[in-house]
């Protein structure tokens, strides 16, 4: 095999494998739960914000830290990231760069396309996760909430199963993840019920 053919095949198989993930998972974080044991910023938002958009496979291993020909440049990113994908701790740009290097590089998109796609999927339900829960009479506060009620509220809105994630104590609602096929249609996420107790806390605010 001559060197030119070898380089061509290497390029082809590398890029084919990167494009061969099965679906996207968009993780929505509830900042008050995230900040229970973190040194969070004062601009804590009272809505679910983006943690990340992750290309996923139907079985392990999951794609991460892929090779990309595209360079991350913060100045090229959408301004809306500041409100919908803020760093709850640390620097915004550091978070976005980390998520790009770890997950965005596996999307086969440019950084600008990846972050725009993330924002588009974040807005796809038509309202924030907080408002979807509120419509089902699930509001942040002191009372315990059934995990199954949270799952049902999201499923009733998007017609597919979400993934519910809690903090390490399994007591506090930390994230709600929504899955999409490559055509951006909702799809069922894999169950992750062991992450949470049967009843969880959905805190309204914490002291910063």
24-201 CATH: 3.90.730.10
Question: How large is the average pLDDT for residues 125-131?
Answer: 94
Q: Which of 15, 28, 51, 113 is catalytic?
A: 51
- Average of per-residue pLDDT across 35-62: 85
Active-site residue (options: 15, 28, 75, 99): 99
Is 157 considered catalytic here?
no
Please say whether the beta carbons of 21 and 181 come within 8 A: no
Please give the model's pTM, rounded to 2 decimal places.
Answer: 0.86
Burial label, 30 (beta-carbon count in 10 A; 0-12, 13-18, 19+): buried
- CA 71 vs. chain centroid, Å, equals 22
pLDDT band, very low/low/confident/very high, at 4 (cuts 50, 70, 90): very low
Per-residue confidence (pLDDT) for residue 42, from 0 to 100:
60
């Amino acid at each position: 095999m001559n060197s030119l053919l070898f380089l061509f095949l290497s390029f082809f198989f590398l890029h084919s494998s990167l494009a061969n993930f099965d679906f996207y998972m968009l993780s929505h974080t509830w900042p008050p739960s995230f900040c229970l044991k973190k040194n969070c910023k004062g601009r804590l938002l009272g809505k679910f914000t983006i943690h990340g958009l992750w290309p996923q496979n139907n079985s392990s291993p999951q794609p991460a830290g892929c090779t990309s020909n595209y360079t991350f440049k913060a100045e090229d990113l959408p301004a809306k990231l500041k409100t919908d994908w803020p760093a709850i701790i640390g620097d915004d740009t550091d978070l976005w760069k980390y998520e790009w290097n770890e997950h965005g590089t596996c999307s086969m998109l440019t950084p600008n396309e990846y972050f725009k796609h993330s924002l588009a999927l974040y807005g796809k339900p038509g309202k924030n996760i907080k408002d979807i829960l509120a419509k089902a009479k699930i509001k942040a506060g002191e009372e315990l909430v059934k995990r199954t009620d949270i799952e049902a509220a999201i499923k009733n809105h998007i017609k597919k199963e979400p993934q519910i994630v809690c903090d390490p104590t399994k007591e506090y609602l930390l994230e709600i993840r929504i899955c999409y096929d490559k055509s951006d249609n909702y799809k069922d996420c894999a169950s992750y019920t062991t992450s949470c107790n049967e009843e969880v806390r959905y805190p309204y605010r914490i002291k910063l």
